[in-house]
Amino acid sequence: MAEKRFPTSLLEAVRYFEDPDVCRDFVVSLRWPNGVTCPREGCGSDRVAFVESRKIWRCNGCRKQFSVKVGTIFEDSPIGLEKWLPAIWMLTSAKQGVSSYQLSRALGITQKSAWHMEHRIRVAMRTESFNKPLDGEVEADESFFGGKAKNMHYYKKLERTKGGRGAAGKAIVMGVLQRGGDVRANTIPDTRRRTLQSEVRKHVAPGSAVYTDALPSYRGLSDDYLHEFVDHTYEYVNGRVSTNSLEGFWSLVKRSVDGTYHSVEPVHLDRYLDEFTRRFNTRKLSDAQRFVLTVSSAIGRRLTYKELIGQASTAP
């Protein structure tokens, strides 16, 4: 029988990964390309034996058993890989994201399980480290995420607007974008000079052209960068000076939050930003390439439900 062609679309992925053995072999090929080794901390032995009846391995070094899920975002999940892998394909290929309600209907699982599943996939989509700083022409801008006060319950509205108007009580996000390249975004505590400029210096190579708006907190970047700004009170573009590309990214994220996710709690916002920045930064890859990259990144990462809802024990 001829070997099945690797999928290029969601429909093909669902058909390709309907066999649990195919799913297991696919993850094994990414995780252990040179042969299966024990994933238990402090072991790593290659003296392992596959138990066919249970579809797990037994390590002859530490004498423990393990499945391909151990030490990944799939660990302790009763949901099979034949549902996990199509879910990853859906989330990594959907430009405006996939809600947990939509995913639960598509996979036939509960909304609670789908919500936990999506956050675990976002952990796999996180870029842990950046190989090189952004350079060339770079835009820097901050944005505010949160619902409108007029749509809130009376007491929540009082809390939101306490101490000011406009962005009071909203989550603040900082982004830097290299034109024609990558974007990096994360939440920040405030818009003070020290905070914003430290983010720019963290991600942008000295000597690059940095374009911002006229916020006074950006003053002083000229010491290390070719800093120019555009005053949005009068104009949005001045020659090559603008933040329009980054504004476009913010627009995509906010439309998706409003239209797909409807509401995002500030405590989870960084994971949603990981999702959108990974899709943006891999926009030149095919859906299949982005899928394989995300599954590869699922190894060595975990997010338990207690950690997700903030009830994980901090005791040693």
Q: How far apart are CA 82 and CA 85, in angstroms?
A: 6
Q: Which CATH number characterizes residue 187's domain?
A: 3.30.420
Domain residues for 114? 10-128+299-306
Determine, yes or no, domain membership for 74: yes
Determine, yes or no, domain membership for 3: no
DSSP at 35: -
Determine, yes or no, domain membership for 143: yes
Q: How many separate domains does the chain show? A: 2
Quick one: 21 and 113 in the same domain?
A: yes
Q: What b-and-e string marks burial along 116-139, b requiring 16 or more CB atoms within 10 Å of the CB?
A: bbbbbbbbbbeeeeeeebbeebbb
Q: If DSSP codes are grouped into helix, strand and coil, which group holds residue 178?
A: strand
Quick one: 72 and 31 in the same domain?
A: yes
Determine, yes or no, domain membership for 18: yes
Q: Which residues pair with 140 in a beta bridge?
A: 176
Q: If DSSP codes are grouped into helix, strand and coil, which group holds residue 288?
A: helix
Quick one: 246 and 178 in the same domain?
A: yes
Determine, yes or no, domain membership for 286: no
Determine, yes or no, domain membership for 242: yes
Q: What type of residue sits at position 215?
A: L
Q: If DSSP codes are grouped into helix, strand and coil, which group holds residue 97?
A: coil
pLDDT in tens, the chain (316 residues): 456 789 999 999 999 999 999 999 999 999 999 999 999 888 989 999 999 999 999 999 899 999 999 999 999 999 999 999 999 999 999 999 999 999 999 999 999 999 999 999 999 999 877 778 999 999 999 999 876 655 555 555 555 444 343 455 689 999 999 999 999 999 999 999 999 999 999 999 999 999 999 999 999 999 999 999 999 999 999 999 999 999 999 999 999 999 999 888 889 999 999 999 999 999 999 999 999 999 999 999 999 999 999 876 544 4
User: In residues, how long is the chain?
Assistant: 316
